[in-house]
């Protein structure tokens, strides 16, 4: 077993870098004999001279040069790991890895902006993707927290619902079906339907509720692009009401009355039950629930 101590590594690294026992001792806040003793012990442990003691300047021997690089690597790795741990444990400065369903994009940015204002020293990575990809991330443990609709029931998850997610049908303001008080699913048979891509939670839900697979000519993997397409008169789209608030207010698109719609579900904040949340993740989870 290797019996070098961290003190020995730090002392050796400082002596070689500063080329002086005096400067190294000042940097390490210890006496010069203390540094000398650490180098002597390290030399003994390694079994070879590490420092040329002849002459005025301190230089590493051939073995010393080799070992110096190892010291730098070990110290760098340890310092980085300490930084990561400190950031994770310090709720004001931690790092969050969040993955969210494409559809949540419209409100998650607002929640994150408020949270960042409260904890300015925190940092985050936001991954915006569809349901299928979120499920893979859950499986591979690739995010601290995931925000999605309808978490799977066959995985060991901790899930917390926090906000309603109404799915609606939208149409161009001059669409003939808008004249009907109530349309049935049958009324859609001859319409051009614009759907999200395979693997989207929005699409899966709509197919389940209307009881058939959407055989759509137009598949678009972005809610924003679906809204634009509906606005352009391309067909009828299905989106979460959250993504379309402004367009409805400005009457550039209309909500279509169809039997079984709006489909009301919830958003959930989700993580693996075997993962202990970091303090910042814990706070963010609480913040989402309280601020949405
Ligand atoms: P999606 O997910 O962005 O994959 O459609 C949203 C949802 O599950 O409702």
Which of 149, 223, 244 gets mutated to test ligand 1 (max ligand atoms within 8 A of its CB)?
Answer: 149
Nearest 5 degrees, angle CA 240-CA 243-CA 244?
100
What tens digit of pLDDT does each residue of 231-242 get?
999 999 999 998
Closest C-alpha to 71, from 89, 46, 101, 93 = 46
Q: Tens digits of per-residue pLDDT, 162-197?
A: 999 999 999 999 999 999 989 998 888 889 999 999
* The predicted structure's pLDDT at residue 56: 73
pLDDT at 44: 95
CA distances (Å), origin 19, targets 8, 53, 76: 16, 11, 20
Q: Which has more confidence, 274 or 5?
A: 5
β-pairing, 193-195 with 236-240? parallel
Tens of pLDDT along 255-266?
Answer: 999 999 999 999
- Asked if residues 187 and 257 have their Cβ atoms less than 8 Å apart, the reply is no
Name the residue with higher pLDDT: 141 or 42. 42
Among 19-33, 71-85, 106-120, whose mean pLDDT is lowest?
A: 71-85
Give percent above pLDDT 90 in the chain: 68
Using alpha carbons, list the distances in angstroms from residue 243 to 22, 70, 200, 223, 259: 65, 53, 15, 7, 21
Q: Which residue among 148, 197, 221, 238 is best mutated to probe the pocket of ligand 1, counting the most ligand atoms within 8 A of its Cβ?
A: 148
**pLDDT tens, position by position, 87-121:** 677 767 788 999 999 989 878 999 999 999 999 88
Q: Is the pLDDT of residue 80 over 80?
A: no
- Give the confidence band of 49 by pLDDT, cuts at 50, 70, 90: very high
Q: Give this prediction's pTM.
A: 0.68
pLDDT of 43 over the 80 cut: yes
Q: Does residue 1 have a pLDDT over 80? A: no
Instruction: Please name every residue paired with 168 in a beta bridge, in sequence order, or none if there are none.
Output: 239
Q: Count other Cβ atoms within 10 Å, centred on residue 137.
A: 16
Per-residue confidence at 138, pLDDT binned at 50, 70, 90?
confident
Bigger pLDDT: 53 or 178?
178
pLDDT of residue 91: 61
Q: What is the average per-residue pLDDT within 137-145?
A: 88
The number of the ligand 1 atom at minimal distance from the alpha carbon of 205 is: 9
Residue 278 is given by DSSP the state P
Q: How far is the CA of 227 from the centre of ligand 1 (A)?
A: 15
**Averaged pLDDT, 25-49:** 95
> Which tokens hold the place of 195?
């759907």
DSSP assignment of 12-50, as one string?
A: HHHHHHHT-HHHHHHHHTS-HHHHHHHHHHHHHHHTS--
Q: How many residues can be counted in the chain?
A: 292
102 CB less than 6 Å from ligand 1?
A: yes
pLDDT for 139 beyond 80 = yes
The reply to whether ligand 1 has any atom less than 6 angstroms from the CB of 43 is: no
Q: What is the pLDDT of residue 118?
A: 92
Would you give the DSSP letter of residue 92? T
Q: What are phi and psi of 223, to 5 degrees?
A: -65, -40
């Amino acid at each position: 077993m290797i019996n070098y101590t961290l003190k020995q590594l730090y002392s050796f690294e400082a002596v070689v870098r500063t080329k002086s026992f005096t400067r190294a001792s000042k940097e390490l806040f210890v006496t010069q004999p203390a540094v000398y003793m650490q180098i002597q012990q390290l030399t003994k442990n390694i079994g070879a001279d590490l420092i040329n003691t002849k002459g005025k300047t301190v230089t590493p021997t051939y073995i010393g040069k080799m070992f110096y690089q190892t010291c730098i690597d070990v110290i760098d790795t340890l310092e980085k790991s300490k930084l990561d741990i400190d950031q994770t444990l310090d709720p004001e400065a931690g790092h969050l890895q969040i993955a969210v369903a494409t559809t949540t994009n419209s409100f998650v940015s607002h929640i994150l902006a408020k949270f960042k204002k409260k904890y300015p020293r925190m940092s985050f990575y936001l991954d915006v993707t569809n349901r299928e990809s979120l499920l893979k991330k859950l499986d591979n443990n690739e995010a601290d927290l995931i925000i999605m609709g309808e978490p799977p029931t066959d995985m060991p998850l901790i899930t917390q619902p926090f906000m309603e997610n109404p799915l609606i049908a939208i149409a161009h303001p001059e669409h003939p079906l808008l004249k009907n008080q109530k349309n049935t699913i049958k009324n859609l048979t001859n319409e051009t339907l614009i759907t999200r891509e395979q693997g989207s939670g929005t699409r899966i839900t709509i197919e389940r509720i209307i009881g058939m697979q959407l055989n759509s000519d137009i598949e678009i993997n972005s809610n924003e692009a679906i809204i634009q397409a509906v606005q352009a008169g391309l067909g009828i789209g299905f989106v979460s009401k959250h993504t379309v608030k402004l367009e409805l207010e400005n009457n550039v698109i209309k909500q279509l009355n169809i039997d079984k719609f709006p489909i009301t579900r919830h958003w959930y904040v989700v993580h693996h039950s075997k993962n202990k949340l970091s303090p910042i993740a814990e706070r963010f989870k609480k913040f989402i629930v309280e601020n949405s």
